[in-house]
Amino acid sequence: MSEAVEYDVVVLGGGPAGENVVDRTCAAGLSTALVESELVGGECSYWACIPSKALLRPALARADGRRVPGLAGAVGGPLDTAAVFTHRDYWTGHWKDDGQADWLESVGAHLLRGHGRLDGPRRVVVTGPEGEHHVLAARHAVVVATGSRAVIPPLPGIAGARPWTSREATSARQAPGRLLIVGGSVVAAEMATAWQALGSRVTVLARGPRLLPRMEPFAGELVAEALREAGAVVRTGVSAEAVVRDGGSGPVRVVLEGGEIVEGDELLMATGRAPRTEDLGLDTVGLMPGDWIEVDDSCRSEAHEWLYAVGDVNHRALLTHQGKYQARIAGAAIAARAAGTAAAADTGPWGAHAATADVRALPQAVFTDPEAAAVGPTLAEAERAGHRVRAVDFDLGKVSGAGLYADGYRGRARMVVDLDREVLLGATFVGPGAAELVHAATIAVAGEVPIGRLWHAVPAFPTISEIWLRLLEAYRG
């Protein structure tokens, strides 16, 4: 084993969270090494957020165009799938990370390609592409930013069926004739929207009573209604018991509880995520391989003062924008502690170096047709947390800006108000273009803006944002 090379900070994982830690620590003058086993840029850049939105944008634009007088007749045909895939490939950099690697070099970081594992406190061993080993020692911090992976449940027959995960669903080169999707959350809903628009006959098989189970019930109901209108089959309350695919090719059959068989040409398992920590050497520092890493509000491990975890791997919020937010917090915290200016941090939350948005002001946008976006708790979650709340609903289609946006605009909005403090706790918007509404709600929730003050944040007319005025009017009665 070679002699250890010292850095101030060693980051395991080069996705958006890891990159943002590097940006902050390098800017603070800390020598930083980043270890990546695949592509710098991570899941989001190549197999999740970026390619999925590239596939979805043409579908949503066509759906919007079909609702606009004077344009509807011009967008009635099928999508140019070759052009859509070319657009997707451009945004993924054709699955090459040269630009990302160049950026790392420009900020002064050292990139090591290979698989990194902890080897005791502050020590990382990297196995390179040719089997060579590098030993790194961290003076101040090791940051785990290895993200999460798709979970495929151990159904009988699943191993030989070669199911898609989100990776295959976002990188496929052609639309399968029939696509079965097991699951009902964001990946299932978005990929059903994309592939139905790209020409597949989609069947969604969700175990729960509705799609998008972590949002307000009406979100999943409206998305399912639109998918059915587009030609997809959406079934809720059904459980997959086994999968059959002879020889790993040909049609794939999903056996449902009760014996019913549903057949397709490809199967996407959209059934959750697990942390990528199973082969990270956590056992060498007294942690359990395969577990999420618990952290405090500065994203520092509760077990070791030198160990940090950002992004999916800490299980606070499995969203790219939240991982980047946590990374900025952690990078600033590491820099402050390295400089000896953050002693007070160890006793509790400390301003700019404490993550709070991933707990109470967590925004999310789902790029289905209609779009669904939310921040903060749902009504049910707020009630379970013990808040005295009131939900205010309004039909988004009755807002002037929505009617001008599209004929027959269908959507709904809800705000959840804390009655004791008269501030917004949460908000949900469902409708075409609704994802652009969520940041205003995020500001109101994060800033605890009093309802009385929101009256003076006047929405421009005629925009869909006029929904704020209508919600406030409904609240006042």
Spatial separation of the C-alpha atoms in residues 333 and 341, rounded to whole Å: 10
The percent of residues above 90 in pLDDT, for the chain, comes to 92
Average pLDDT of every residue of the chain: 94
Stretch(es) of the chain classified as CATH 3.30.390.30: 370-476
Give me the mean pLDDT over the 2-14 stretch.
Answer: 94
pLDDT per residue as tens digits for the range 94-126: 999 999 999 999 999 999 999 999 999 999 999
Does the structure show a pLDDT above 70 at 351?
Answer: no
The H or E element that residue 274 is part of is: strand 273-275
Give me the mean pLDDT over the 163-171 stretch.
Answer: 97
Spatial separation of the C-alpha atoms in residues 113 and 426, rounded to whole Å: 42
Give me the mean pLDDT over the 223-231 stretch.
Answer: 97
Overall fold of domain 159-271:
FAD/NAD(P)-binding domain (3.50.50)
Residue 344 pLDDT: 42
Residue 1 pLDDT: 59
Spatial separation of the C-alpha atoms in residues 15 and 42, rounded to whole Å: 4
What DSSP state is assigned to residue 398? G
Whether residue 315 contacts residue 9, with contact meaning beta carbons closer than 8 Å, is answered with no
Confidence of residue 50 (pLDDT cuts 50, 70, 90): very high
Whether residue 5 contacts residue 137, with contact meaning beta carbons closer than 8 Å, is answered with yes
Spatial separation of the C-alpha atoms in residues 267 and 128, rounded to whole Å: 34
The H or E element that residue 99 is part of is: helix 98-107
Give SS3 for 244. strand
Residue 91 pLDDT: 97
Does the structure show a pLDDT above 50 at 349?
Answer: no
Residue 19 pLDDT: 97
Residue 356 pLDDT: 77
CATH 3.40.190.10 correct for 5-41+97-149+275-358: no
pLDDT per residue as tens digits for the range 295-328: 999 999 989 999 999 999 999 999 999 999 999 9
Q: How far is CA 28 from CA 22, 322, 328, in A?
A: 10, 22, 12
Residue recorded with tokens 């803006």: 449
Rounded to two decimals, the pTM is 0.94
Stretch(es) of the chain classified as CATH 3.50.50.60: 5-41+97-149+275-358, 159-271
The percent of residues above 70 in pLDDT, for the chain, comes to 97
> 360 versus 221: which is more confidently predicted?
221
Residue 325 pLDDT: 94
Q: Which CATH class is domain 370-476?
A: alpha beta
Does the structure show a pLDDT above 70 at 347?
Answer: no
Spatial separation of the C-alpha atoms in residues 394 and 113, rounded to whole Å: 52
Spatial separation of the C-alpha atoms in residues 243 and 157, rounded to whole Å: 5
